Amino acid sequence: MFIERLVNSGNSGLLEQVVEFTARRHRLITENIANIDTPGYRQKDLSVQAFREKMAEMLRRGRNGPLPAGVLAAQQRGGGILAHDRNNRSMEQLATDLASNALMHNVAVELLRKQYQRLEMALRERVG
């Protein structure tokens, strides 16, 4: 019970959700890159806006529960110009999405690592 309160007292649950979201989104972006020349392939993505809104709502309510399945559901990426092979590719946009997603993932992992490091120090009764 004590350990559970320590782990859940911060925002580690929310950071874990960010890590899960960015990992899933990274897989979709790399899938889009791998299929950049596949005729008829439509790019998929997760809605960053829906994720941000849900995270803001969770922060306001003080909840650390799991994200609803709809936020983690892949959707076809709209927009873009269709090429002659009916593919809506944009390598520049994919590279931008990959870089910003990786940055958000790395920040969340680092913040989570720091939280667990502080928890470990508290359990070992060391002052850092």
Residue that is written with structure tokens 């859940």 in the block: 8
Per mean pLDDT, which range of 34-38, 87-91, 100-104, 111-115 is the poorest? 87-91
Residue 52 has pLDDT above 70, yes or no: yes
Residue 8 has pLDDT above 60, yes or no: no
pLDDT at 119: 81
What residue segments make up the domains of the chain, in order of their start? 2-123
Residue 6 has pLDDT above 50, yes or no: no
CA distance 96 to 118: 33
Query: Does the global pTM surpass 0.85?
Result: no
Q: Which amino acid is at 15?
A: L
pLDDT tens digits, one per residue of 60-80: 877 666 777 777 778 776 655
Quick one: average pLDDT of 100-128? 86
E-only strand ranges, the chain: 44-45, 75-76
